[in-house]
Chain A
């Protein structure tokens, strides 16, 4: 059972919102609806679910409805239509008391502009969620202190928010949410207010914390790089609609439409693409079966100046060049062993484009992609250049 299950969720702002939903059915755009009715479509029939322990990222441009969506998930605003289930419980059907219980025990939110209470110390901020559950002072202080230490702020507990830097305040926001030990963290552009360096640091920190905490996280961002870094899955929003859901790679490699493609265009591909994405199926000869003649024949046919040599189980042995092979044919040798070269540049499937780019300069033959010594593919220089420039992303089987 998914932890968060959102079905056909819509939010239309303004009077007579229900009426405007019929225009959604007719497929009118957000602008048309605004013109016709004066209502703003915040979220338009969003459907997705988040599994336990998953980091689910919602991304989209400003005004695409991300904040509205996340606020619907803990019912800070009431939906116009659709349902939100938390652990199988329908949020809309809850009375105030059970809603409070869900917010206290299951959902904690981290806010874009921190939303710390300026009149409370860092410790008092962190303990807020526990304080309103009337947990006794000693225990809640202990928990608040622990979660502050977890984010590296153990020494600042008696300061006030105004005395801390933005990055530190953001950590307090995170610690405040974590102190409750919720199942689900809702993070609305939690890192957007931070400058790039601190931001990256916070992303790493979140991933590190996630290793041990295994929370279910709904993370909002307008930054694709951030989404790709931390998301297990990403949902892309446009004008209130979810236009694509997928893993970071699916989004990058198969953008669902122009909108997603536009988004993807700006990404620094070297960070997200790996060897796996640009390698091609290698031509090989079998060291046991093939002699110089067979190798020469194959190279001539494929127009290669060198070829990789493996054993029957595709364990990489080395490569031979066309010159050496012709020499061996002349000398009537029947084995490739004597002319085998082993100065190979090897990478693994998840090696990033960046690293490949750095090593491919030194390689005289295509880079070998191996796993446990077995040859999985090869990478030619042209493919790296193409991928980095974003002009052509070749899939596994496309080139060979």
Chain B
């Protein structure tokens, strides 16, 4: 120890975080206040104002079409959602749903372009791969700390931490999907004189769609798995009910809230999977 003084890595990271915080203050303030307000309006003024029966009906109809006009998913959706409402967890469900939606949307909006960039350049792939590994293996709790530093407590830091945790699969699968498009098809596109953008939008992305959707499905699931963790920094929703139950050692209410998360997970998973069909697939 004596020869090598401790390297002040922790201090550096703290300093860097503070630097970022200072430098991007206007953006962080905007996100915390305006974006935070918007999330709140979305959850409390819109979603929660829809009558429960109407909400269930709409989701059931969507489930009917998403699952190719079968009734299994419809039945599960109706029973599951009704159960959550019956347990008095409807508002929590709506908050969780909001968190997942925003975190997933942002992850996809960031993740797909990065995936494309990665697919188009070997150098970018070499740089991003270890970064993605790092993002996914770092314990999710750690992200809560800069999230709080940047955004205080509430929904916004929850979304922020979820985005960091949930984005990698979308990036990876987008990259993979595009690279998987056979070389001969890319050549075929080239041989007809496509521009880079035409090749991307008319051949590579449509053909990678299935793989990209699988990545998005994982992203949504990861975002959902952040719900409980994010509730530790004040994100409202089912996660909070779990934490409360934990603190009070109430097994029953803890599990009921857990069921709510599972039900939401299954519904979202089936929805995103069923959207995952590609033109020209053989049935």
Binding site for B on A (CB under 8 A): 71, 74, 76, 99-104, 107-109, 111, 113, 115, 117-121, 128-129, 131-133, 160-163, 180, 186
Q: Which residue of B lies closest to A104 (CB)?
A: B193
A104 contacts across to B, CB distance below 8 A = 192-193
**Cα distance, A131 to B188, chains bound together (Å):** 14
Q: Note all chain B residues with C-beta closer than 8 A to A161.
A: 280
Q: Distance (Å) between the CB of B15 and the closest chain A CB?
A: 44
8 more A-B contacts (CB under 8 A) besides A118-B280, A119-B206, A132-B202?
A: A109-B188, A113-B184, A115-B188, A117-B280, A119-B279, A120-B279, A131-B202, A160-B279
CB contact between B195 and one of A71, A100, A108, A120 (< 8 Å): that residue: A100
Given contacts A113-B184, A117-B185, A103 and B195 within 8 Å (CB-CB): no
Q: Are B193 and A119 in contact (CB under 8 A)?
A: no
Residue of A nearest to B192 (CB): A129
A115 to B187, CA, bound (A): 9
Give every chain B residue within 8 A of A111 (Cβ-Cβ): 184, 187-188
A117 touches B282 (CB 8 A): no
CB neighbours of B182 from chain A (8 A): 115
- Who on chain A is nearest to B203 by CB? A117
Contacts of A133 in B (CB 8 A): 193
User: What are 27 A-B residue pairs whose CB atoms fall within 8 Å in the complex?
Assistant: A76-B187, A76-B191, A99-B193, A100-B194, A101-B193, A103-B191, A103-B193, A104-B193, A109-B191, A111-B187, A115-B182, A115-B188, A117-B188, A117-B203, A117-B207, A117-B280, A118-B207, A118-B280, A119-B207, A119-B279, A120-B280, A121-B280, A128-B189, A132-B195, A162-B280, A162-B281, A180-B192
Residues of B within 8 Å of A129, CB to CB, are 192-193
- How many B residues face the partner with a CB closer than 8 A? 23
Nearest to B199 among chain A residues (CB) is A132
- Picked from B185, B190, B203, B280, the residue with its CB within 8 Å of the CB of A76 is B190
Give the interface centre of A101, A115, A120, A121 by most chain B CB atoms within 10 Å.
A115
Determine how close the nearest CB of chain A comes to the CB of B182; give it in whole angstroms. Answer: 8
Q: Which residue of A lies closest to B205 (CB)?
A: A119
Tell me the complex Cα distance, A99–B196, Å: 13
Q: Most chain-A CB neighbours within 10 Å: which of B185, B278, B281? A: B185
- Determine the chain A residues whose CB is within 8 A of the CB of B180 once the complex forms: none
* A160 and B280 contacting across the interface, CB-CB below 8 Å: yes
Chain B contacts for A117, CB-based, 8 A: 185, 188, 203, 206-207, 280
- Complex interface: chain B residues within 8 A of A160 (CB): 279-280
Minimum distance in angstroms from A126 CB to a CB of chain B:
11
By beta carbon, the residue of chain B nearest A129 is B192
- In the bound complex, residues from chain A placing their C-beta under 8 Å from that of B191 are 74, 76, 103, 107-109, 186
Closest residue to B280 on the A side, CB-wise?
Answer: A160
- List the A side residues contacting B202 at CB < 8 Å: 128, 131-132
A128 touches B192 (CB 8 A): yes
A121 vs B182: C-alpha distance when bound (angstroms): 18
8 closest A-B pairs by beta carbon, nearest first, are A103-B193, A104-B193, A160-B280, A115-B188, A100-B193, A109-B191, A129-B192, A118-B280
- Chain B residues in 8 Å Cβ range of A119: 206-207, 209, 278-280
Q: Which of B185, B195, B280 has the most chain A CB atoms inside 10 A of its CB?
A: B280
For A100, the chain B residues whose CB sits under 8 A away are 193-195
B230 CB to nearest chain A CB (Å): 37
CB distance from B191 to the nearest CB of A (A): 4
Does B198 sit at the interface, judged by CB under 8 A? yes
Q: Scan B241-283; emit 1 where CB is below 8 A from any A CB, else 0.
A: 0000000000000000000000000000000000000111110
The closest CB in chain B to the CB of A71 belongs to B187
